[in-house]
Amino acid sequence: MAQDFDAEELDLLDSLVETQEGTTESGEIYEHFRFVADKGQQLLRVDKFLVARLEHSSRNRVQQAADAGCILVNGKAVKSNYRVKPLDVIQIVMDRPRYEIEIIAQHIPMDIVYEDEAVLVVNKPAGLVVHPGHGNYSGTLVNALAWHFRDNPEYDVSDPRLGLVHRIDKDTSGLLVIAKTPDAKTHLGKQFFNKTTKREYNALVWGVPDPANGRIEGNIGRHPKDRLQMTVLPPDDPTGKHAVTHYETLENFGHTALVKCVLETGRTHQIRVHMTHIGHPLFSDARYGGDKILRGERTGTYQKFISNCFEICPRQALHARTLGFVHPVTGQEMFFTAPIPADMTALLEKWRNYTASH
């Protein structure tokens, strides 16, 4: 049975950005359409199956979607020549939530780091949701983009061929790149997929990593007992996705440490999950237990100090500090740096003062 949809949503099939890996820190894919084949379904190529069910679509567009990894059958990406069998579940997925409502332009200030005719680079503050959905239908970065481009007839905020190429979590601050043309999004999407972009994060973690610098490799998937969490799964678990994080300790505060993390892949909560996996959850990260005292003293003075730290930075202490990519038009290497925001800066300063006095 087909999911209800608007005809405009069929433009999703034009997006050629790979959605299966490498495009986002949060790494999610979202279902936009779902069909279940009848019990009496005859063997039929999936492209023909979908063309018959999607109005205003063409076989070429469906084939492009399949090539981009956007068509799943029973949870696995398939090519356009896959033959649909009885009771197969066919999904069309994308790298962003489906917009169920009209995107309203809202005058939300954006820290624009760079902009030209093809790309826009912004420094997202912590607390700002990237995409509408899941109860956040306004006040998002996409609403801010709709306002920013309100006088640009070439930019349609609902067009999946344009817009955000990757994402970071709501409570993570830092750099994001937005594509202003379909060619730019395709070009940038391939760079993320091929892991040629440069992404570095700063994080304050509980404890001091040993060794000080290292490589974390572990397949990431949904936690079997808590669907809101991700976790490192056994290598033979088919639901886990390959993930690699490189870390380097920048400052040692005794009970915590400032680390630099370089992503080789982009998975949901990757840095948060990998650092937790090696015993160093991010400071103030409530979802992964970092909002409790995990290292240090038992004194009331220390407990008060930590409580003050949580108040200063009441979110995971994670910042997407640098972003590098090749410009999709000029071919020039672009590199951007966003300073650590005020809440994390104040938090680090408290730890520096604490370390100096002990």
Active site residues: 169
Q: Please state, in angstroms and rounded to a whole number, the distance separating the CA atoms of residues 303 and 183.
A: 53
Q: Please state, in angstroms and rounded to a whole number, the distance separating the CA atoms of residues 245 and 226.
A: 23
Q: Please state, in angstroms and rounded to a whole number, the distance separating the CA atoms of residues 239 and 94.
A: 18
Q: Please state, in angstroms and rounded to a whole number, the distance separating the CA atoms of residues 319 and 203.
A: 6
Q: Answer whether 163's CB lies under 8 Å from 178's CB.
A: yes
Q: Answer whether 25's CB lies under 8 Å from 265's CB.
A: no
Q: Please state, in angstroms and rounded to a whole number, the distance separating the CA atoms of residues 293 and 105.
A: 42
Q: Which among 105, 106, 144 is positioned nearest to 123, based on CA atoms? A: 144
Q: Answer whether 280's CB lies under 8 Å from 272's CB.
A: no
CB-count exposure of residue 83 (10 Å: 0-12, 13-18, 19+): middle
